[in-house]
């Protein structure tokens, strides 16, 4: 059995261009689907997949780990830069899909069988009017309460909001009070039985992240995400040690060694590995083992497209330390034209029942994808009040 081609299909889906990866074999009808979506780097990832595919075309697709090693190591630069890691991830997902199809079982069955009956999901409310806190009032911040109520009406028992504004390395009380007002409004709106998460989007400095974390600690957040840059593992560890709320991070980490350092320094309690950026399911399973050794929970970052979701869920059904999965619901109205999925979502509680199809259980309608060709993403720029550049 041989790989004959690695193809990419780009599908513009409002916020992002989904990059689907199709690994084709010489066996009639046997192929696998992966995803390598990377916002603002679509052309680079498509090119990287074309480059990397040269290493594996002609090889046996059943040797998933061996092919991962080839893709990661058999060129001068290791595959842990974000573009190469995403390209490898997309191909790796497709190889696991093929493995499941050959075995005629869902991937979670290949990995030892299901460890749970369902997976909990959460939605992302976005950032409301928090982009410029000089222009945002406490009343604006209170609108997070309406967003929260809507998420619960949509069936979710957990949601996340970017309720922390972008800030310079040090600021006074104003942004802290806004974040408090937003979180208080959400808690008032939904009560204590719903889990609320706050995403700082890695904007604060460690000092500001600590201030936000301390201020929001009394609201009993389920987790507090990326309270400072991911490069600052010491900063993450200091914040995690100083507050009761569990710190979550990991979506921007693309190599095992950095996950090891993050866990060893106790930079988080929740690991948000992204299966389309961390090296695919092959690498995700290694990261999960490391997390397990530190008793750190798994909650994958998953704002991408349907193959990323299918892979993140299949992973969740196989990992004991997995607590919840991010989902994007209502992303594009034509989603069901492009993809059919093997799992089912129960509207009440937004829990997912297992995939019953082989592999990742995904089928992509290539003709429908072609209705939505590449479009440049809208630039999301942040400047502070003095005109200096901030993080989006
Ligand atoms: Mg995030």
Residue 270 has pLDDT above 80, yes or no: yes
CB 83 within 8 A of CB 71: no
Domain ranges of the chain: 3-105, 109-369
The set of catalytic residues is 201, 301
Cα of 179 from ligand 1 centre, angstroms = 17
Helices (H), 173-330: 174-190, 206-216, 233-242, 256-264, 280-293, 306-316
Q: What is the mean pLDDT of residues 42-51?
A: 98
Task: Give the pLDDT score at 75.
Answer: 85
Cα of 142 from ligand 1 centre, angstroms = 22
Please tell me if the domain spanning 3-105 has the same topology as the one spanning 109-369: no
**What's 3-105's CATH class?**
alpha beta
Task: Give the pLDDT score at 296.
Answer: 98
**What's 109-369's CATH class?**
alpha beta
Residue 141 has pLDDT above 90, yes or no: no
Residue 133 has pLDDT above 90, yes or no: no
Cα of 348 from ligand 1 centre, angstroms = 25
Cα of 302 from ligand 1 centre, angstroms = 9
Q: What is the mean pLDDT of residues 203-218?
A: 98
- In the chain, DSSP assigns E strands to 3-13, 16-25, 31-35, 119-124, 158-161, 195-199, 223-225, 247-249, 270-271, 297-298, 325-326, 339-340, 344-346, 351-353, 363-364, 382-383, 389-390
State pLDDT tens for residues 350-370: 999 999 999 999 999 999 999
Q: Give the SS3 label for residue 34.
A: strand
Task: Give the pLDDT score at 131.
Answer: 75
Cα of 271 from ligand 1 centre, angstroms = 11
Mean pLDDT of the chain: 95
Tokens of 348: 């009440």
Task: Give the pLDDT score at 135.
Answer: 83
State pLDDT tens for residues 274-311: 999 999 999 999 999 999 999 999 999 999 999 999 99
Residue 138 has pLDDT above 90, yes or no: no
CB 157 within 8 A of CB 196: no
Q: What is the mean pLDDT of residues 198-212?
A: 97
Q: What is the mean pLDDT of residues 234-249?
A: 98
């Amino acid at each position: 059995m041989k790989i004959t081609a690695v193809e990419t299909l780009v599908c513009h889906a409002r916020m992002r261009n989904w990059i689907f990866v199709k690994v084709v074999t010489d066996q009639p009808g046997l192929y696998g689907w992966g995803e390598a979506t990377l916002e603002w780097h679509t052309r680079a990832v498509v090119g990287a997949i074309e480059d990397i595919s040269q290493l594996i075309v002609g090889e046996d697709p059943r040797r998933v780990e061996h092919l991962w090693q080839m893709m990661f190591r058999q060129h001068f630069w290791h595959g842990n830069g974000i573009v190469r890691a995403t390209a490898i991830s997309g191909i790796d997902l497709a190889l696991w899909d093929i493995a499941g199809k050959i075995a005629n079982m869902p991937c979670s069955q290949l990995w030892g069988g299901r460890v749970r009956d369902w997976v909990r999901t959460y939605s992302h409310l976005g950032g409301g009017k928090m982009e410029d806190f000089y222009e945002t009032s406490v009343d604006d911040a209170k609108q997070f309460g309406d967003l929260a109520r809507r998420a619960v009406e949509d069936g979710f028992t957990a949601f996340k909001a970017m309720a922390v504004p972008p800030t310079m390395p040090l600021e006074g009380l104003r942004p802290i009070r806004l974040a408090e007002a937003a979180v208080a409004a959400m808690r008032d709106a939904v009560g204590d039985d719903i889990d609320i998460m706050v995403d700082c989007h890695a904007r604060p400095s460690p000092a500001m992240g600590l201030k936000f974390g301390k201020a929001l600690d009394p609201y009993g957040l389920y987790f507090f995400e990326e309270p400072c840059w991911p490069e600052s593992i010491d900063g993450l560890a200091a914040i995690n040690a100083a507050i009761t709320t569990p710190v979550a991070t990991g979506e921007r980490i693309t190599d095992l060694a950095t996950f090891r350092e993050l866990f060893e320094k106790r930079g988080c309690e929740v690991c948000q590995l992204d299966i389309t950026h961390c090296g695919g399911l092959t690498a995700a399973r290694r990261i999960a083992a490391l997390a397990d050794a530190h008793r750190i929970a798994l909650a994958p970052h998953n704002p991408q497209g349907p193959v990323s979701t299918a892979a993140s869920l299949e992973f969740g059904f196989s990992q004991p330390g997995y607590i919840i999965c991010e989902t994007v619901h209502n992303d594009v109205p034509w989603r069901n034209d492009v993809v059919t999925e093997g799992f089912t979502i129960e509207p009440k509680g937004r829990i997912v029942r297992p995939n019953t199809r082989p592999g990742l259980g995904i089928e992509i309608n290539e003709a429908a994808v072609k209705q939505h060709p590449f479009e440049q993403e809208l630039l999301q720029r942040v400047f502070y009040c003095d005109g200096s550049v901030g993080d989006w």
